[in-house]
A and B are shown apart, each in its own frame.
Chain A
Amino acid sequence: MSVMLTKFESKSNRVKGLSFHPTQPLLAASLHNGSVQLWNYRMGVLVDRFEEHEGPVRAVAFHPSRALLVTGGDDYKIKVWDIRPTNRRCLFTLHGHLDYIRTVQFHHEMPWILSASDDQTIRIWNSTSRNCIAILTGHSHYVMSAQFHPKEDLIVSASQDQTVRVWDISGLRKNTPNTAPGTFDSFDNFSTVKYVLEGHDRGVNWASFHPTLPLIVSAADDRQIKIWRMSETKAWEVDSCRGHFNNVSTALFHPKHELIVSCGEDKTVRVWDLTKRSAVQTFRREHDRFWVLAAHPELNLFAAGHDSGLIVFKLERERPAFAMHADTLYYVRDKYVRAYDFNTGSDIGLLSVRKFGSPYVPPRTLSYNPAERAVVLTISSDNGLYELTTLPKDAVGEVKDSSTDGKRGSGQSAIFVARNRFAVLNKSTQLIEVRDLSNSVVKSIKPPVQTNEIFYGGTASLILSSATSVVLYDIQQQKTLAEITTPPVKYVVWSADGSLVALLSKHTITIANKNFTQHTLIHETIRIKSGAWDDSGVFIYSTLNHIKYCLAQGDHGVICTLDNPVYLTRVKGKTVYCLDRSARPRTITIDPTEYRFKLALLRNNHEEMLYIIRTSNLLGQSIIAYLQHKGFPEIALHFVQDKNTRFDLAIECGNLDVALETAQTIDRPDCWERLAQQALKQGNHKIVEKAYQRTKNFDRLSFLYLATGSTDKLTKMQKIADARGDPMSRFHNALYAGDVHGRIAVLKDVGMYSLAYLTAKTNGLDDVALDILETAGLTEADVDDVPSFGRSTLKPPTVVTPTTAHNWPTLSMGESFFDKALANGNLEGSADVPYLNGVDGGVAASAALDDWAKDEEGAEDIAAEEGAWDLDAEEAAEPEQEEEAIEEEADLGAGANPGVSETELWTRNSPFAADHVAAGSFDTAMQLLSRQFGIVNFSHLKPVFLSIYRSSHVYLSPLASLPPLQLHLRRDPEESSSGRVLPVAVRNLASIRAELSEGFRAVSGNKLPEAQVVFRATLRSLLLVSISSDSEAKEWRDLVTLAREYLLGVTIEIERRRVAHEDPDNVRRSLELAAYFTHCKLQPAHLQIALRSAIGVFAKANNHATAAKFARRLLELNPDPKIVAQARQRIAAGDRNPRNAVEIAYDEFTEFEICGASFTPIYKGSPAVRCPYTDAAYLPQFKGELDPLTELTEIGASSAGLPAPRS
Chain B
Amino acid sequence: MDSSELYHIKQQFTLGAYKSLVDLTLPDPSSPDYTPTLIYQARAHIALGAPAAAEALVPSDTENVALKSVAALARFVAADAEEARDAALEELRDLSVEIEGEDAEATPWEKGTVRVLAGTAFARAGEIEEALETLGAANDTQNLEAVAYTVQVYLSINRPDLARKEFERAKRWAEDDLLLELIEASIGLVTGKDGYSDAHAFYTEQLANPSLTSPHLLTARGVARLLRGEVSAAQSDLEEAQSQLGGKPDAETLAAQTVAAGLGAAKSTDADQLFSQLSSEYPNHPLVTDYQQKADLFDELAAKFTVPALATASA
Residues of chain A touching chain B, judged by Cβ–Cβ distance below 8 Å, are: 420, 436-437, 459-460, 476, 872-874, 877-878, 881-882, 885, 888-889, 891-902, 920, 922-923, 926, 930, 936-939, 941-943, 945-951, 953-967, 969-970, 972-976, 981, 984, 986, 991, 994, 1156-1160, 1178, 1181-1182, 1184-1188, 1191, 1194-1195
Contact with A along B145-175 (1 / 0, CB 8 A): 0001100111111111110111010000001
Having A881-B168, A946-B294, one finds 5 other A-B pairs with CB under 8 Å, namely A872-B194, A894-B129, A894-B130, A959-B148, A1157-B312
Q: Residue of B at shortest CB range from A1197?
A: B308
Alpha-carbon gap, A578 to B158, bound state (A):
41
CB distance from B267 to the nearest CB of A (A): 9
CB distance from A598 to the nearest CB of B (A): 31
Q: Is B65 close to A, CB under 8 A?
A: no
CB distance from A997 to the nearest CB of B (A): 13
Cβ contacts under 8 Å, B194 to chain A: 459, 872-874, 976
Cβ contacts under 8 Å, A881 to chain B: 161, 164-165, 168
Q: Are A986 and B263 in contact (CB under 8 A)?
A: yes
For B219, B272, B307, B312, the residue with the greatest tally of chain A CB atoms inside 10 Å of its CB is B307
Q: Are A965 and B165 in contact (CB under 8 A)?
A: no
Cβ contacts under 8 Å, A962 to chain B: 120, 123-124, 149, 152-153, 156
Q: Are A1159 and B313 in contact (CB under 8 A)?
A: yes
Q: Are B201 and A476 in contact (CB under 8 A)?
A: yes
Q: Residue of A at shortest CB range from B272?
A: A947
Cβ contacts under 8 Å, B306 to chain A: 936
In-complex Cβ contact of A872 among B123, B198, B223 (8 A)? B198
Cβ contacts under 8 Å, A1191 to chain B: 310
Q: Is B189 close to A, CB under 8 A?
A: yes
Task: Pick from B1-9, B24-32, B55-63, B224-232 the stretch touching chain A.
Answer: B224-232
In-complex Cβ contact of B227 among A969, A991, A1178 (8 A)? A969
The main secondary structure of chain B at its interface with chain A is helix
In-complex Cβ contact of B305 among A893, A920, A936, A1187 (8 A)? A936
Q: Are B193 and A973 in contact (CB under 8 A)?
A: yes
Q: Residue of B at shortest CB range from A475?
A: B201
Q: Are A1188 and B160 in contact (CB under 8 A)?
A: no
A938-B305, A961-B46 as given contacts; A1188 in contact with B291, CB under 8 Å: no
Alpha-carbon gap, A494 to B121, bound state (A):
47
Interface residues of B in 260-315 (CB under 8 A from A): 262-263, 265, 268, 271-272, 275, 285-287, 290-291, 294-295, 297-299, 301-302, 305-313, 315
Cβ contacts under 8 Å, B219 to chain A: 956
A962-B123, A962-B152, A963-B123 as given contacts; A896 in contact with B189, CB under 8 Å: no
Alpha-carbon gap, A528 to B20, bound state (A):
60
Give me 8 A-to-B residue pairs in the complex whose CB atoms sit less than 8 angstroms apart, sorted by A's number: A476-B201, A872-B194, A873-B194, A878-B168, A946-B294, A954-B227, A986-B262, A1181-B315
A947-B271, A955-B256, A973-B228 as given contacts; A961 in contact with B43, CB under 8 Å: yes
Q: Is B35 close to A, CB under 8 A?
A: no
Residues of chain B touching chain A, judged by Cβ–Cβ distance below 8 Å, are: 13, 16, 18, 43-44, 46-47, 73, 77, 120, 123-124, 128-130, 132-133, 137-139, 148-149, 152-162, 164-166, 168, 175-176, 182, 185-186, 188-198, 201, 204, 219-220, 223, 226-229, 252, 255-256, 258-259, 262-263, 265, 268, 271-272, 275, 285-287, 290-291, 294-295, 297-299, 301-302, 305-313, 315
A881-B168, A930-B305 as given contacts; A960 in contact with B156, CB under 8 Å: no
CB distance from A892 to the nearest CB of B (A): 4
Q: Are A955 and B148 in contact (CB under 8 A)?
A: no
Cβ contacts under 8 Å, A923 to chain B: 297, 301
The 6 closest A-B pairs by CB, nearest first: A951-B262, A893-B138, A976-B193, A899-B158, A1185-B311, A894-B133
In-complex Cβ contact of B262 among A877, A893, A947, A1195 (8 A)? A947
Q: Are A958 and B182 in contact (CB under 8 A)?
A: yes
Alpha-carbon gap, A133 to B315, bound state (A):
126
Alpha-carbon gap, A994 to B266, bound state (A):
11
A872-B194, A961-B47, A986-B262 as given contacts; A893 in contact with B152, CB under 8 Å: no
Alpha-carbon gap, A898 to B128, bound state (A):
10
Alpha-carbon gap, A476 to B290, bound state (A):
37
In-complex Cβ contact of A436 among B176, B262, B268, B313 (8 A)? B176
Alpha-carbon gap, A975 to B196, bound state (A):
11
In-complex Cβ contact of A1195 among B157, B175, B196, B311 (8 A)? B311
Q: Residue of A at shortest CB range from B292?
A: A946
A973-B196, A1157-B312 as given contacts; A953 in contact with B259, CB under 8 Å: yes
Q: Are A959 and B149 in contact (CB under 8 A)?
A: yes
Alpha-carbon gap, A258 to B256, bound state (A):
68
The main secondary structure of chain A at its interface with chain B is loop
Cβ contacts under 8 Å, B204 to chain A: 476
Q: Are A1186 and B271 in contact (CB under 8 A)?
A: no
Alpha-carbon gap, A939 to B176, bound state (A):
53
Q: Are B227 and A1185 in contact (CB under 8 A)?
A: no
In-complex Cβ contact of A965 among B128, B189, B301 (8 A)? B189
Alpha-carbon gap, A1194 to B175, bound state (A):
63
Q: Residue of B at shortest CB range from A1169?
A: B311
Q: Are A899 and B168 in contact (CB under 8 A)?
A: no
Alpha-carbon gap, A956 to B188, bound state (A):
13
Alpha-carbon gap, A877 to B184, bound state (A):
14
Q: Are B307 and A937 in contact (CB under 8 A)?
A: yes
In-complex Cβ contact of B256 among A949, A956, A966, A970 (8 A)? A956
Q: Are A899 and B159 in contact (CB under 8 A)?
A: yes
In-complex Cβ contact of B302 among A889, A926, A1157 (8 A)? A926
Alpha-carbon gap, A984 to B260, bound state (A):
12
In-complex Cβ contact of A896 among B16, B137, B175, B286 (8 A)? B137
In-complex Cβ contact of B129 among A437, A895, A899 (8 A)? A895
In-complex Cβ contact of A955 among B160, B252, B307 (8 A)? B252
In-complex Cβ contact of B309 among A889, A898, A969, A1185 (8 A)? A1185
Cβ contacts under 8 Å, A981 to chain B: 192
Cβ contacts under 8 Å, B191 to chain A: 874, 976
Cβ contacts under 8 Å, B198 to chain A: 872, 874
CB distance from B73 to the nearest CB of A (A): 7
Alpha-carbon gap, A991 to B264, bound state (A):
10
Cβ contacts under 8 Å, B152 to chain A: 958-959, 962, 965
Q: Are A899 and B301 in contact (CB under 8 A)?
A: no
For A476, A960, A1185, A1188, the residue with the greatest tally of chain B CB atoms inside 10 Å of its CB is A960
CB distance from B51 to the nearest CB of A (A): 9
Q: Are A1186 and B309 in contact (CB under 8 A)?
A: yes
In-complex Cβ contact of A975 among B159, B193, B265 (8 A)? B193
CB distance from A119 to the nearest CB of B (A): 76
Cβ contacts under 8 Å, B77 to chain A: 961
Q: Are B263 and A899 in contact (CB under 8 A)?
A: no
For B138, B194, B252, the residue with the greatest tally of chain A CB atoms inside 10 Å of its CB is B194
Alpha-carbon gap, A389 to B172, bound state (A):
16
Q: Residue of B at shortest CB range from A957?
A: B252
CB distance from B39 to the nearest CB of A (A): 11
Cβ contacts under 8 Å, A899 to chain B: 157-161
Q: Residue of B at shortest CB range from A984?
A: B263
For A885, A938, A950, the residue with the greatest tally of chain B CB atoms inside 10 Å of its CB is A950
Cβ contacts under 8 Å, A956 to chain B: 189, 219-220, 223, 252, 256
A898-B157, A922-B298, A950-B262 as given contacts; A960 in contact with B47, CB under 8 Å: yes
CB distance from B214 to the nearest CB of A (A): 12
In-complex Cβ contact of A938 among B149, B182, B272, B302 (8 A)? B302
In-complex Cβ contact of A892 among B162, B186, B229, B299 (8 A)? B162
CB distance from A1095 to the nearest CB of B (A): 26
Q: Are B308 and A1184 in contact (CB under 8 A)?
A: yes
Q: Are B155 and A965 in contact (CB under 8 A)?
A: yes
CB distance from B263 to the nearest CB of A (A): 5
For A970, A973, A1157, A1181, the residue with the greatest tally of chain B CB atoms inside 10 Å of its CB is A973
Q: Are A946 and B201 in contact (CB under 8 A)?
A: no
Alpha-carbon gap, A57 to B182, bound state (A):
76
Cβ contacts under 8 Å, A991 to chain B: 265
Cβ contacts under 8 Å, A897 to chain B: 157, 159
